[in-house]
Every structure is written in structure tokens, then in C-alpha cells.
Amino acid sequence: MSKRFLAAALIISASFSPALAAKTSLVIGMPIEPPGLDPTVAAPVAIREVTWANLYEGLVRIDQDGKVQPLLAKRWDISPDGLTYTFHLQSGVKFHDGSTFDSADVKFAFDRARAPTSTNAQKQIFAPIASVETPDPATVVIRLKETSGNFLYYLGWGDAVIVAPETAENNKASPVGTGPFKFKSWTRGDRVELVRNPDYWQTDKTKLETVTFRFINDPQAQVAALKAGDLDAFPNLSAPELFSELKKDARFTAVAGNTEGEIVAGMNNAKKPFDDARVRRALMHAVDRKALVEGAYSGYGQPIGSFFSPNHPAFVDMTAVIPYDPEKAKALLAEAGYGNGLSITIKAPQMAYASRSAELLAAMFAEVGVDLKIIPTEFPAKWIEEVFKNKDYDVTIVAHTEPLDIDIFARDNYYFNYKNDKFKALIAEAGKTTGENARFAKYAEAQKILAEDVPALFLFQLPKLGVWNAKLKGLWENSPVPANDVTDVSWTD
Amino acid sequence: MLRLILSRLLSLALTLVAVSLAIFLILEVLPGDPAAIMLGTAAREDTLAALRHELGLDQPALVRYFHWIGGLLHGDLGQSITYKMPVSTLVTERMAVTFPLSLMAILISTTLALPLGVTAAARRDGPVDRAVLAFSSLGVAVPNFWIGILFILFFATWLGWFPAGGFPGWSGSFWVALKALVLPAVALALPQAAVLTRVTRSATLEVIGADFVRTARAKGVDKGATLRRHVVPNALIPVTTILGLQLSFFFGGAILVENVFNLPGLGRLAYQALNQRDLVVIKDIVLIFSGLVIVINFLVDIGYAILDPRLRSRA
Amino acid sequence: MRLTPRLRLNPALLIGGILTAIFIGTALLSLVWTPEPPTRVRIAMRLKAPLEAGLLGTDHFGRDVASLLMAGAWNSLAIAWPAVLLGAAIGIAIGCAAAAWKGAADEIAMRVSDVVFAFPAVLSAIMIGALLGSGPTAAILAIAVFNIPVFARVTRGVALQIWTLDYIAAARSLGKPPLRITLEDVLPNIAGALIVQVTIQLALAILTEAGLSYLGLGVRPPNPSWGRMLSDAQTYLSQAPHLAIAPGLAIALSVLGLNLLGDGLRDAIDPTLRSRTEPV
């Protein structure tokens, strides 16, 4: 073993030469290690944060502003009835294993995702598809059963990236895509290394030669690694309490942007007393969102009054609809028949933002005579079982991190047990509306309904606390989709 | 002797079977569906069923148990559900952290404990003895994860001598990697060193009181030589027993310390696997940990019998 | 071997007794009085240094650290005490039975305790937490389970020695049933050793509870616990290092007190016990 160490030491000293040209390596820190590297068969956000747009590409992509841009499809035509999408594919695209990308791969990827044996976490994206046809290698025609206003947008997600039939099976451990970077190695528990794809179809697009993702769970260690220069960037720092310190440090750029994660305290709307909108409103009135953000997330994070990401162009600020007002809360509770107090429980996952928010909610509710008992509930295992599946809870608290997921309040049998036919119809309409302005107007209306009806306590948007070397440019400030897209990242000197 | 070893081997095998059954049963009743965890909250029922089938979770429990044991007998630990790779590879990778960590901790613990314990016993009730006793009483009382936190505070945050956590891997500089393990190893070692010091002290005292030592002293052999030649070798027998038992504790106790220092070791793997309900990985790791304890106990028993003929005849 | 009526006072007994009295006294006091309500959140007063607000400063919610520590003492005892008693009750019963009937019963009891011993304790406690949901019950059961084999072994060891005594053999030959011998002759004679073991196991239980609540298992928030205070403190280490000191000291001093008390009691009751009940 010592021989190997010696050899390693020699190699390191040999390769140590002063770098005159701009640096071409990047080391990115992430709090959580992805379980596998295939975004088409599992849900975790961390998978997308390593692979999306770096290793794999879709027909289209989502850009920094949340807009749909062409990628593997250079353009597309949509039939007037909105049911037929014709994609014209880029030519000269190769997978990392050297095989050529063509329409057959698109058909394979989408048919695989919607097959009965599919384990795609967002299978509903593909639900409207009636057929995928390949008239020639450079054209794909997708026919839909019904119009879908967000269909193109969904195709930009990690769940809809194009994978090749020869390699799809092994993508979890050795991913093969068409992206600007190729997979090099994965040391479990520690790091994933990517190298530049020399055959990338957008020639000279990327400046970086190597990209390393390192997984550091502990907030103190994250900051220490940044300061020591072991990491060049931590796009999503998990320690808000340490963020201000880094903001003052001239070596770093520190930006607090938004993620797609709305932190909400969901209530069991089918259960007493939450079936009474007055009680739900009263609890919302009892919450001082600003103090909550201060205590739970050191003041970073935008308070929200409804369920929509500030990253999305259709966002409307609804925090004024039910503002902090303990007196009003008491009055509403008395009106609903709980003037003498109310005792309820909250199932809170172990994540710091959730357990801290739960403790603060308990303190705030106590001010209006509501006794909130905290039941720590292991996430994801127990939470999915008890809250999500069995709906055995009063109140709970999680961040919903999927982009554009307001429709969860319209889903039957979702854990909120919320039933509002008007809202449901509105969301269905919005989903089918292909005109952008008309669709956004419907989303605005939907946000207002939720803000007034409070099926869940809307607390704040989980911030994206990005920290990176001041000489780096091209990293995303917000994350309209979960991603660490490094395609355009470069060093300034 | 052979009969003793055979009967011990039989009970070793039976204990291992019992442990494997216990692990399997506990995981059987553990709430949480690995498929639902993998696919998140947007997954539909048919997707979940497809994944459960792919993972073999839809087979009867008995079939899965024998499948697991059958694999183990062929040296196959199975495939991790979350990482989709052989558990043996995962465990080997993590061992590269946990094994050197435990080894360093044992080294630190014994180099501290043996001299301290023997010296204290040799100067019984003197100031040195009292100081050693105070150190060991305090050492036993301090939680190892708190020592870890204090170390991070002093040596990493304030002085900047050591990294605050994380592990750079052995592929880079050997010394940098070793340095990352120093603080966790000391945090892990101190409480165990305290226990070992007490055991060494009392074992040494017992031997000092024994007849043959008194005879040696009476024959005029000087104190230092008696200690070296007669006392220490005999006192080492019980000390080794405790050390054997502590070995398992080092691996187990590493869970907390690996969490404090964010080290990608076996303990953290187990913790993560439990969170993700990666049942294959948890089963294997718990079995490895407990198998290790059982085998070490077995070896200690046999070693005892060889060293001490009285025990041989009694058993 | 009987508990001598007059305990010989020794330094360990004295220091251990004082520390333990402070520990238990604080825990009891916290039920009726703390400087501030321990769960009162004051966001405006977050992360104040000691003396700037309260004796020991405030935590990330502006709660008074001294009050949290006091209430934490009670919560720590409230887990450790029932856990050890439960483990002791079952373990002593098993140990006595093994010593009384020997043979197959003894062999089975010892093999089962081997199996329990073989499980990595922390990992198993986490599994029990996952099984029952985190909370006091899970913590108590997790700690109790690992106390059973300890008590079973210690009890069996000392009980076997009593069984070899002449007068017991005489009683047996006169047809006195083993159960009555156990209750009337064995138990009173081994009570001293068991009390010592209880003290030592209590110390261990407090350490284990701290470890479990550090990992997020144990008493439920907002009920304060020392282990969780440490895990919270770790995220604020560079801003508010004082938060990491006090809870750790509280754990260490309580455990130290109980350990010294156990040692002192053992020496006071019977110095020859030492070799037989030396903790592993």
C-alpha cells in the first residue's frame, strides 16, 4: 500500500507547476450526495444538481430565468390545435460512448419513461403523450391526447433528458449522455468527477476541463472547505447562520437567490378543526413570517403568502392577504368555537429548516392560545409513510422543491386532503392553455385562491445561498430548476 | 482442546444465525418503503409497483431472507438499492476511512493507557496514581462527540491547525489525508483510553498482589525488573480481553464521531443507508459489525484457553 | 458481603455524592423554577453572549441557556432512570434465573445476551428510534435493551457465588424451592453489587441519551435536551462558541458524579467487589 502512496506523492509533486493560464478546473460543494446518477429513475434533487445540463441534455432546457430554450431540438413546430409537436433535432450530436444521437434515442427515452415498467419519478409529464414517431433520424413527432400548456417546459426537466438504449440501464452508476461533460469517477460518500467532453456538439462552448462535485453535509465543514480553498463554489450552502460571515469576505461572491422550494406547513384539511377555513386563517394570522425567517433561516428567505416560486414570471406577492395579526387570530378562533384553546400536533422532519420552523410555530401559536405539540418524524422514510401516504397528521412542515407544483393542491388524495372544485378546474384550464399570458393570468388567480383559503400555512421560499470564488463567473444565482449548470462557468484570470 | 474449539465454533455459528435473523426481522417491521423514498412524492402507484418489483421487494420475506444468506455464503453482499452497486465495493471504499481511523484510535488509546495504568499501579495511592485516576474518571464521563466539537472549535476554527471535517481521500497527499483523521481519532480514543487505563491499573494491582510476584521481590529482584518481567506480561491478559471488546466499540462509536467530522466512513454509510431505507446495505453492515464482535469474542475465548490451562480444564 | 450499616466515607463517594446531588437537585428545581421559561422564544435576543443576557447567554431562538440546561437535567434523568430500572428489572430476573436453574436455561440466556451485545449499540438505538418514531419511549427502550444483558451477566456472576455457599446448599438439600432461595437468600446478598451497577449504568445511560438526542432521537422539542443543545450549537460554532461549552460540561459532570458515586459506594460497601464488577 505504501508503494501506491509514494507513487501518488510523486505524481502530485511532478504535476505541480505554476499555472499561468486561467484555471480550468472547478470544485463544487453540495450538501447531499446523490443516490445514483440517473435523473430519469429517481426523484432526489441532488441527482439533478450533478447531472442536469452537465452530463445529460433534453430536447429543450430551462435557462437561468426559468424560460424554455432549444437544446437537442434546434427548433419545433406546434400544430394549431396544440396536439402535435414536431421537433427538429441538432445534427452531429454524439453520446459519450461515441454512438450517434438521433430521433430513435428520443423515442426510446420517452417510451421508456411512459412504459408500464417505468420508474420515472415524474411520469405524469409523459401522460399526455399519445405517440412518439420518427419520420427520419433528425425529426421527432409527438402527438398528445390533450393539450398541455407546460409540455415544453416539462421537457426541460431532468426527468425528460435523452438517454441511449445501449447505456440507459447502467446510467445510475456510469452515466452516459450528450452533455458538455463526461463522467469520470465517483467515490461514494465523497465526490463525483466529470471531465470535458471533447466531442461536444457545441464546439468551444465550455471553458472548464474538469468539474468535481464534493459532498459535505456539515455546515461548518462546508464553510471551512471554502475558506481553505478546497472548494471553489458552494451554490447551495446549508448554513444560513454562516452566510453573512462569507458575505463580508472579499474573496467570495455571496448571493442569496431563490430556489423552487416553498416551505409550507401543510394541514390536514379533511380533519377537524382544519376543515374550518376560519381556523386555518387564524393560524396563518398567528404566524409572524419575518420573525420565522429570522429565527429559522437567519433572515434569508422571502416570505410567501401563497404557493408559487418568485423565480417564475407568473409569481404574485400574496403575503398581505393574511398578515401577522395575533388579535385577529384569537378572534377567528373564538368565532370558530376554539376561544378556550386548541391542542394540535405537528409532524416535523429532522431537517434544520423544518424542525426550527416547527419550534417557532409552536411558540407563535402559544401566543394565541393554540398548543402545538411537536412530533419529530424521520424524513423521508416515516414522513412518506405516515403523512404522505396515510394522512395521519394534523399539521406538518416540508419544502416542496419541484418547480411549478401549484397543482398539488388540485390533486385528488394528496396529503393536504384539500378539496376545492373551483381551484381544481382553474388549474386544469391553466394546464391546457397554450397562450402564455392567458395561462399566467390563470396562475395568478390560483395563487389568490390559495392565499385566501390557506390549505397550508405559507411560510417562506427556501433561499439558494450561493457562495463562490469572486473570480468565477457564470454560476446561477437562482435555481428555477434544481441544477448546477456549469456549461458557461469560467475563471476570469 | 479440540472439543472446546468445536463447541465454541458451533455456538459461534448459532449466534451468527440468530443475529442475522434478528437483523432481518427488525428491518422487516421497520416502516418506510424504499421505492417511495427513491421516487419522491410525485410518483404514481404503478411507478412505485414497478420499482418494488425491480428491487425484488414484492417477494415473500422468507425467500428474501434465504436469498440474502445464500448470497452471503457465496461472498455476495448484494446490490445497494440507492447506489445500484455491489455492497462489497461500498464497504471496501468506506473501510478506507473507518479502518485507519479505528487503528489510529487504538494506537493512541493503548499508548496512553498502558503506561499510565502500570505507572499508577506501581505508585499506588501516590499523587501520580490520583492524577491518573482523576484523568480516567473524567475521560469516561466525557462524550466523544463533544470532544469532537471542542476540537473543531479550538484546533480548526480558532487555531486553523486541522481541517474542520471532511476527508480528502487517499488518492491525494498521504499526509493531508492522515491529518484529517487526527482529531477524530483522538476524540474517539480518549474515552476508551480512560476505560483502558482503569483496567490496566486494576489488572496490574491484582498481579502485584499475587504470590509469585511477592516471591520474586522477596528473592531480591528489583522493583522495575519485577514489573517488566513478571507483572506487565501477566496483567496484559485481561487488558487484551478488554481491548478485543473495545475493537468493536471503536467501529460502532465511529458512527457519532464520523457524523461530527463529516467523514465518509462505514458508520456514516450505515446512518445514511438507514435514512434511505437501503435495507441491503443496513443488513450487511449490522451483520459485519456484529459478526466482528462475535468472532473477536470467540478468538479471545480460545486465546484465553490456550494461555490459561485452568480455564481449559474447566470448560 | 452484606451491605454494611456504616458506609466508610471516601473522597470518591463524597465528590460523586455532591455532584449527583447537584444534578438531581437541579433537575427537580427546574420543575418549579428556572430563571426564564426554558421554551420562551425571543427572536430579538438571539445568540447573546453569557451575562449579556442571562447567566449563560441565549441560543439561536433567544432562549435562556441556563434555564435550558436546568430543564435538560430533568429530561436527561427522565430518560436514563426508567431505562436503567427497566433494564435492571429484566436483567436481574434473567440473571437470577440463570444462576438458580443453570443448565440449558443458563446457556440460552447467555447466548441471547451475546446476540444483544454483538449489535452495534448506537446503530441499533437509531433503528429502534426509526421503528418507534423518535421520542422518549424509543430512547428509553433503546437504552433499556442494552442494559438487560449487562445486568443479567453481573447478577448471574455474583449470584452463582452465593449459590456455592454452604448454607444455601443445606437449604437446597432440605427442599427449599429455588425461587424462595433466590428471593430470601440470594437477592439480599447481592443487592450491594447491583446498586453499584445501577449507578454506573445510569451514568452510561445519560451518555447514551446525549448521543441519541445529538442525532435527533430522544425527548421531543421544544423540551430541551443536552445532546440536542450540542447539535444546535455546532451550527453556530463560529458565532456563538459558548453554546457548545455548557451542555457538554453538564453531561460530563453528571456522568462523572454518578461514576464516582458508584466507585465510592463499591469501596464503601465492600472493597472486594471491585474485581468482580469492574465495568467493561
- How does DSSP assign C29-67, residue by residue? HHHH--SS-TT---GGGTTPPTTTSTTT-B-TT--BHHH
B176 in a structural domain: yes
**Best residue in C23, C108, C110, C119 for a mutation probing chain B (most B CBs within 10 Å):** C119
**Spatial strand order in the sheet of A456-469:** A181-187, A191-196, A210-215, A25-30, A233-234, A456-469, A252-266, A398-400
Which set of grid coordinates corresponds to residue C5?
450499616
The 10s digit of each residue's pLDDT in A90-129 is 999 999 999 999 999 999 999 999 999 999 999 989 999 9
- What does the alpha-carbon distance between residue A158 and residue C52 come to, in Å, rounded to a whole number? 51
pLDDT single digits (tens) A423-441: 999 999 998 898 889 999 9
Whether B8 is covered by a domain: the verdict is no
In a domain, B79, yes or no: no
For A211-270, how does the pLDDT look when each residue is reduced to its tens digit (9 = 90+)? 999 998 877 778 888 988 889 999 999 888 889 889 999 999 999 999 999 999 999 999
Residues paired with B59 in a beta bridge: none
Q: Which stretch of A28-42, A43-57, A92-106, B214-228 has the lowest confidence by average pLDDT? A: B214-228
Question: B165–A221: do the CB atoms touch at under 8 Å?
Answer: yes
* B31/A381 Cβ within 8 A: yes
Query: Identity (one letter) of the amino acid at A205?
Result: K
Exposure string of A115-141, with b = 16+ CB inside 10 Å and e = fewer, is eeebbbbbbbbbebbeebebeeeebbb
User: B171 contacts in A (CB within 8 Å)?
Assistant: 8
Q: How many angstroms separate the CA atoms of A349 and A264, rounded? A: 12
> Chain A residues with CB-CB distance to C under 8 A?
218-220, 223, 239, 241-242, 245, 291, 294-295, 348, 350, 352, 355-356, 358-360, 362-363, 373-378, 381-382
Q: Give the β-pairing of A84-89 and A139-144.
A: antiparallel
Helix (H) or strand (E) holding B122: helix B87-122
Least confident of A310-319, C73-82, C105-114: C105-114
pLDDT tens-digit readout, C46-63: 899 999 988 999 999 999
Q: Is B49 a member of any domain?
A: no
In chain C, which residues have their Cβ closer than 8 Å to the Cβ of A239?
235
- Note down the domain range covering B234: 87-314
Q: Which chain C residues are closer than 8 Å to B137 by Cβ?
A: 256, 259-260, 263
- Cβ pair C278:B32 closer than 8 A: no
Instruction: Give CA–CA dist A201/A176, Å, rounded.
Output: 15
Q: Residue C270: its pLDDT value, please?
A: 63
Tell me how close the Cα of B169 comes to any Cα of chain A, in angstroms: 8
- Summarize pLDDT for C233-270 with one digit per residue, the tens: 988 888 889 999 999 999 999 999 999 998 888 888 76
Q: What is the pLDDT of residue B312?
A: 45
Please report, rounded to a whole number, the percentage of residues in chain A having pLDDT higher than 90: 79
A neighbour chains, 3+ CB pairs within 8 Å: B, C
Q: C198-227: per-residue pLDDT in tens?
A: 998 999 999 999 988 988 888 888 999 999
The sheet carrying A395-396 orders its strands as: A370-376, A342-348, A395-396
pLDDT digits (tens, 9 = 90+) for B164-208: 777 877 877 889 889 989 999 999 999 889 989 988 888 888 888
Which of A110-114, A167-171, A201-205, B220-224 is predicted with the least confidence, judged by mean pLDDT? B220-224
Q: What is the residue-averaged pLDDT of chain B?
A: 84
Residue B10 is assigned to a structural domain of this protein: no
CA-based nearest distance B230→chain A, Å? 37
Residue from B83, B120, B130 nearest B284 by CA: B83
**Does the residue B291 lie in any domain?**
yes
Kindly state the cell numbers that stand for B194: 480512560
Contact B264 A190 (CB under 8 A): yes
Task: Search chain C and give the residue with CA nearest B19.
Answer: C115
Helix locations, chain C, DSSP H: 11-32, 65-101, 103-118, 121-132, 136-163, 166-173, 178-181, 187-214, 226-235, 242-269, 273-277
- Whether the bond into B143 is cis, omega within 30 of 0: no
Quick one: which H or E segment has residue B118? Answer: helix B87-122
With beta carbons under 8 A apart, name residues in chain A contacting B170: 5, 8
**Nearest by CB to C134, which of A241, A359, A376?**
A376
Q: Which long-range contacts (CB under 8 A, 24 or more apart) does A441-449 make?
A: A443/A308, A443/A312, A443/A314, A443/A406, A444/A314, A444/A316, A446/A406, A447/A306, A447/A307, A447/A308, A447/A315, A447/A316, A447/A318, A447/A406, A448/A306, A448/A316, A448/A318, A448/A321, A449/A420, A449/A422, A449/A423
For the residues A454-469, what does the mean pLDDT come to? Answer: 96
3-state secondary structure chain A: CHHHHHHHHHHHHHHCCCCCCCCCEEEEEECCCCCCCCCCCCCCHHHHHHHECCCECCCEEECCCCCEEECCEEEEEECCCCCEEEEEECCCCECCCCCECCHHHHHHHHHHHHCCCCCCCCHHHHCCEEEEEEEECCEEEEEECCCCCCHHHHHCCHHHCCCCCCCHHHCCCCCCCCCCEEEEEEECCCEEEEEECCCCCCCCCCCCCEEEEEECCCHHHHHHHHHCCCCCEECCCCCHHHHHHHHCCCCEEEEEEEEEEEEEEEECCCCCCCCCHHHHHHHHHCCCHHHHHHHHHCCCCCECCCCCCCCCCCCCCCCCCCCCCHHHHHHHHHHCCCCCCEEEEEEECCCHHHHHHHHHHHHHHHHCCEEEEEEECCCCHHHHHHHHHCCCCCEECEEECCCCCHHHHHCCCCCCCCCCHHHHHHHHHHHHCCCHHHHHHHHHHHHHHHHHHCCEEEEEEEEEEEEEECCEECCCCCCCCCCCCCCCCEECC
CA distance linking residue A354 with residue A383, whole number of Å:
12
Predicted pLDDT at A142: 97
pLDDT computed for residue B310 by the predictor: 52
More confident residue, B249 or B155: B155
Q: What is the model's pLDDT at position A367?
A: 94
Residues of A in contact with C220 (CB under 8 A): 373-376
pLDDT digits (tens, 9 = 90+) for B33-82: 888 888 888 788 888 999 889 888 888 999 999 999 999 888 888 888 87
Determine the Cα–Cα distance for residues B182 and B162; give it in Å rounded to an integer.
8
Count of the separate structural domains present in chain B: 1
A9 pLDDT higher than 50: no
Is residue A11 very low, low, confident or very high in pLDDT (cuts 50, 70, 90)?
A: very low
Across the interface, of B141, B146, B248, the residue whose CB is closest to C259 is: B141
Q: Mutation test of the interface with chain C: which of A227, A241, A292, choosing the one with the most C Cβ atoms within 10 A?
A: A241
Checking if the pLDDT of C3 tops 90, the result is no
Give B241's pLDDT tier (boundaries 50, 70, 90). confident
- What is the average pLDDT across C175-191? 90
CB-closest option in C124, C127, C252 to B142: C252
Check CB contact under 8 Å for A377 and C135: no
Mean pLDDT estimate for chain C = 88
| Interface predicted TM-score (ipTM) | 0.85
Taking the Cβ of residue C108 and every Cβ of chain B, the question of whether any pair is shorter than 8 Å is answered with no
Residue C158 to chain B, least CA–CA distance (Å): 18
Share of chain B above pLDDT 90, in %: 18
Cis status of the peptide bond prior to A273, with omega within 30 of 0: yes
**What are the backbone angles phi and psi of residue A478, rounded to the nearest 5°?**
-110, 165
Q: Residue C271: which pLDDT band, with cuts at 50, 70 and 90?
A: low
Of B31, B152, B166, the CB nearest to A385: B31
Asked if pLDDT for residue A397 goes beyond 50, the answer is yes
pLDDT score of A14 more than 70: no
Query: What residue ranges define each of the domains in chain A, with the CATH number in brackets?
Result: 57-168 (3.90.76.10), 261-463 (3.10.105.10)
User: Which residue did the predictor score with more confidence, C279 or C146?
Assistant: C146
* pLDDT, position B163: 80
% chain A with pLDDT above 70: 96
State the amino acid at position A425 in one-letter form.
Answer: A
Mean of the pLDDT values across residues C86-107? 92
Answer yes or no: do C203 and B141 touch at CB < 8 A. Answer: yes
Chain C residues whose beta carbon lies within 8 Å of the beta carbon of residue A376: 133-135, 216, 220-221
Query: What pLDDT does B213 receive?
Result: 75
Give residues with Cβ within 8 angstroms of B248, minimum separation 6: B289, B292, B293, B296, C120
Q: In chain C, what residues touch A378 (CB-CB under 8 Å)?
A: 129-130, 133-134
Whether pLDDT at C1 is above 60? no
Residue B114: enclosing H or E segment and its boundaries? helix B87-122
Number of helical (H) and strand (E) elements in chain B, helices listed first? 14, 0
Residues 131-190 of C with CB under 8 A from B: 131
* pLDDT at residue A8, as a whole number: 45
In this complex, which of C61, C133, C235 lies closest to A360 when CB atoms are compared? C61
- Per this entry, what is the length of chain B? 315
Contact criterion met (CB < 8 Å) for B54 and A117: yes
CB–CB contact C260 B137 (8 Å): yes
State the pTM of this model. 0.86
Residue with cell 518481567: B229
Residue B99 belongs to a domain: yes
Highest-confidence segment of A2-16, A262-276, B205-219, B222-236: A262-276
Grid cell locating B268: 456514516
Contacts of A385 (CB under 8 A, 6+ apart): B31, B32, B33, B36
Q: Which residues of C touch A291 (CB under 8 A)?
A: 43
- Residue B184 cell numbers, joined: 477524530
Q: What is the mean pLDDT of chain A?
A: 91
pLDDT greater than 90 at residue B309: no
Of A147, A175, A52, residue with least CA distance to A433 = A147
pLDDT: is C157 or A452 the higher one?
A: A452
For residue A491, pLDDT over 60 is answered with: yes
Residue B243 forms part of a structural domain: yes
CATH classification of the domain holding B103 = 1.10.3720.10
Q: Mark yes or no for CB contact C46/A355 under 8 Å.
A: no
The per-residue pLDDT for A328 is 97
Which 8-state DSSP code applies to residue B33?
-
Nearest beta carbon to residue C131 from set B29, B137, B199: B29
With 0-12 CB in 10 A as exposed, 13-18 as middle and 19+ as buried, what is A374?
buried
Q: Do A241 and C235 touch (CB under 8 A)?
A: yes
Report CB contact under 8 Å: C135, A363: no
Q: Please answer yes or no on whether C114 and B294 come within 8 Å at the CB atom.
A: yes
Q: What is the pLDDT of residues A119-175, one digit of tens each?
A: 999 998 999 999 999 999 999 999 999 998 899 999 999 999 999 999 999 999 999
